[in-house]
Structure 1
Amino acid sequence: MDYYLFENQIIVWMQIGNGIMNDVTDEKGQLDYLWSHALISDETYLGIQQHCKTQTETKTCEQFQSTAQTEFGNIDPYNIYGPICPLDDDDSSSSSRRRVFKKNGYDPCEQYYVRDYLNLPQVQKALHANLTNLPNPWEPCSGLPWKDSPSSMFPIYNRLIASGLRILLFSGDVDAVVSVTSTRYSISAMNLTVIKPWHVWHDDTKEVAGYMVVYDGLAFATVRGAGHQVPQFQPRRAFALLNMFFANHF
């Protein structure tokens, strides 16, 4: 979520990229995305549909979910068509990885460079971080128990829409974690009125950059070829979408 607050000013717009909205529709959308993109089998898809209907997961449900992870394979769920970082290759140094992947403008090992840098003692000292000398290293995703999360953001969206806030939701269409299908299901469940039907939008190269639909209260756009962090994978298209939003060209 991007939001801006300046002293004595009111927030008038907000952008949310590949954001979790509602557990029920998000999970359904993720499953449908995996199946429709040929990442899991028909049998696993139907098994999860049948046995994973409640909040309490059964043993059978867990087995089907485990099978789905195996079928999915060793690909990046945040960009299903992107490269992965070869961490298991002992002969591959950070510098060699950088040379290999920077050719395509994207380095899937970036998070590990950042992790290593932020765990340097001198860096933590400069940032006044880890003053209590915790024994475990800093990780982007630590795996700590997380329970403070609402099951639905619909009440918050409804309040923001009622306040007149301009809202843009956008989804990279190759993200399997918070998929474009999930966001579309969630928006559909909000029962918003369509103001401008589904249509293509273009970047400055005049290529199709994605698709868009405008509702009474928010706009939704897909970004073609982008993963979970849209600007990381498609910076040009992300910038074009931002400019369109600022210029109110929706």
Structure 2
Amino acid sequence: MYKSKRDIGSASDTSHFNANRRISMPLLRTSISGVNQQELKEKDLIKNLPGQPPVSFKQYGGYVAINESAGPFFYYYFVEAIRANNSSPLVVWFNGGPSCSSLQGAFLEHGPFRVHSDGKTLYRNPYSWNDETNVLYIESPAGVGFSYMNNSSALENIGDKKTAENNYMFLVKWLERFSEYKGRDVYIAGQSYAGHYCPQLAQLILHNKNQTLINLRGVLIGNPGLDSNDEIYGEYEYLFNHALISPKQWDNYNKLCINGEDSGGTECFKSQWSITEQTSHINLYNIYAPICLNSTLTSKPKEYTTVKNFDPCSPEYLTAYLNLANVQKAMHANTTKLPYAWTKCNYEQNDLWSNNDRDASMIPILEELTGSGVRVWVYSGDMDAAVPHTSTMHVLRKMNLTIEKIWRPWFSEGEVGGYTEEYKNKFTYATVRGAGHMVPSDQPIRALTLFTSFIRNMPLPGTL
């Protein structure tokens, strides 16, 4: 649900995430506020999700209190690696928004299960990322999904800074509960507005590396919002290049909004609005995908359901599933009986998000990360018009990256999986052919190829 500069515009202020800032976090010990973390871990074990097929790996769900009395209280879902061992890496995943639930990543993209059309049963995803690593899905910030705060008024002043600090504190406390993951390789991953969440959390980990045993190795972000001021032109450019708007609309946009005749004025706005109306009947998150025409749950799962053919109504099946009382009980979710249902995104909170934070450039943080030896990969589904590859390329061009391996195709399952270019300081960019905004939903095999290459620190396959 990434909201671009096509929707919001304001001055940019990145001062609270500059490269020199240090946020000091307290050193946390095994027993936090008298809470036995091992007991909490045992209580968080999910024996079985309702309607799930049998699996061999363990899964956990529960709450971590950022502040024991006032909150916020973040819900997490964690799946161990299928072939877990004492050195299996930990991947922390965020969906974007801002204010969208990471359980979408778990149940719509690269988690071990997908929800059937009956909204009650699950089927296996054979291309789950826990085939390679342990994966931790965090619902952040408070007010998203099952995560909450006792004082609802505290959710009004919402933005990047507090979210990053709370995400960091969550991870520190979660590692007390799951202490066996201390010192293991940690990767921060996400998509869309997680283009803010992931670099900002990684920066805090770097700044506090002497306090905690978080062995940050890399950041992986897909179709990310990185710098809205540089991305906006690429959004309209993409629409024109894919025959979604007319040459006249494209010319008017350039003439009125870019070349200064009416930048920020009424005529520029009219130009943008005509484009919004023109593209309102397609799914901008995947311009070639079908839309959900009938989200009514079925009495029995649809026949021939397969992960390879994503059902556009899947988000509605997931919403129905996560609002079942027996599902919430099994997942140890909604234990305080929140006065609202689980939803994919908190749209009200999204509207309250700081405009300055939305517009903040992540380039300085990305440069700090790569300069500190952190591996950074950015990928784009090439059918996404919400944060298209053209926008991301404008941001990368602004970074003045030094090319080490030129643009080339990469391969998955005997076909071109996309295109990639490698740069100095462990920075890689890749497109994923035939995928939209949620790459693992549309191209699960290609997404897994990309993910495993990233985790194993190997170039994307260069041969069939």
CA contact (8 A) 1:2 1:16 kept: no
- 1:95 aligns with 298
- 1:106 aligns with 310
Richer in strand (by share): 2
In angstroms, what is the RMSD of aligned CA positions? 2.9
Amino acid in structure 2 at the alignment position of 1:70: E
1:161 aligned onto 2:338: no
Amino acid in structure 1 at the alignment position of 2:379: F
CA contact (8 A) 1:22 1:186 kept: yes
C-alpha displacement of 1:138:
4.0
Could you say what secondary structure the match of 1:39 adopts?
Answer: coil
Alignment gaps of 5+ in structure 2:
1-90, 94-134, 136-170, 172-180, 183-212, 460-464
Amino acid in structure 1 at the alignment position of 2:287: I
Could you say what secondary structure the match of 1:28 adopts?
Answer: helix
- 2:396 aligns with 187
* Cα deviations by residue, 1:199-221 (Å, 9 ceiling, x for unpaired): 11111x22111101001130001
Which shifted more, 163-172 or 109-118? Answer: 109-118
Q: 1:132 to 1:162 in 2, by over 3 A?
A: same
C-alpha displacement of 1:248:
2.8
C-alpha displacement of 1:196:
0.5
Q: Match for 2:320 among 105, 111, 116?
A: 116
Q: Match for 2:248 among 17, 21, 43?
A: 43
Greater relative contact order (CA < 8 Å, ≥ 6 in sequence): 1
- 2:440 aligns with 231
Alignment gaps of 5+ in structure 1:
none
Q: Match for 1:16 among 215, 218, 221?
A: 221
Q: 1:121 to 1:161 in 2, by over 3 A?
A: same
**Count of residue correspondences:** 243
C-alpha displacement of 1:28:
1.0
* Cα deviations by residue, 1:63-85 (Å, 9 ceiling, x for unpaired): 22221122224111111111100
Residues of 2 paired with 1:101 and 1:77: CA distance?
27
CA contact (8 A) 1:230 1:238 kept: yes
Amino acid in structure 1 at the alignment position of 2:249: T
TM-score (norm 2): 0.48
CA contact (8 A) 2:230 2:391 kept: yes
Q: 1:180 to 1:101 in 2, by over 3 A?
A: farther
CA contact (8 A) 1:2 1:15 kept: no
Amino acid in structure 2 at the alignment position of 1:248: N
C-alpha displacement of 1:52:
3.1
Q: Match for 1:242 among 445, 451, 463?
A: 451
Amino acid in structure 1 at the alignment position of 2:297: S
